[in-house]
Amino acid sequence: MSEQRVTLSVENGVALVTLNRPDKHNAIDMAMFEGIDKTIKQINANREIRVVIVTGAGVSFCSGLDVKSVLSNKSGALRLLWKWLPGNANLAQRVSIGWRRLKVPVIMVLHGKCWGGGMQIALGGDFRIAATDCSLSIMETQWGLIPDMGGTPALRECVAGDQGMKLAMTSEVIDAEQALAVGLITQVSDDPLQAAQLLAQQLIERSPDTNRVIKKMYHKIWSVNERKILALETLNQIKIIAGKNQSIAVKRKQGRTDIDYKL
């Protein structure tokens, strides 16, 4: 594949990460999953990086999972969900939880669509700055799935339990001001990239050791039992998928071919 799904540049201690599939609203295919995972590892190995800014090329930050591309390939789906231990993060979860595990602050710059898997990626950031035109949604239930990409620990930190359940159960699309009101994002800006760059400079002016300790301490305080949350995401998603496949098989056996199957 000639085109990089994720690009990384570093200047003056700031790493700029760009999701780079603009023709598909940066929908996540296997190449993007792998690209994000690889980029997080590169950042973790670079001691010169003090702050990370993540944005999306084109008109959207990320419109979510490329369902047709990813779930039509059984081996791809297995690669996303596979993990050695239940509490470990699988590939699907590392594209969100991986940002949280970096030792430096991560700022997500959101615009256009930030839906489904895109919202899960955004939740991995320590800060989320959204454009006024941004729309956001935890959209997995539209596909009969549960959110299982590692965003749950951050969602627990950001919003009240009833708001989190409402967003996850309904797949409601909300605008930036609504997202700010419930705590899903940090800030709304007419120029979110510029706002992120200003925040990055503020963070760089502080001690990197202090920032590192604060990030680690606050995430630990707010997200108790992170490994348990990751395990529950994956185990419950497997149950949902297994039940759905069984239901589809029964319906097909009964000759009910008029049903629109989403998976």
In the chain, the domains with their CATH numbers are 6-253 (3.90.226.10)
pTM, two decimal places: 0.85
The pLDDT assigned to 234 comes to 73
Its sign, for the CA torsion 208, 41, 64, 246, is: negative
d(CA 109, CA 121): 11
| pLDDT score at 253 | 55
How high is the pLDDT of residue 251?
47
Residues of the chain where predicted confidence (pLDDT) is lower than 50 = 1-2, 248-252, 256-263
- The pLDDT of residue 1 is 41
Quote the pLDDT of residue 154: 86
- 156: which 2 tokens? 């627990």
Report helix angle 30-45 to 91-101, nearest 10. 30
- pLDDT at res. 260: 38
pLDDT of residue 74: 66
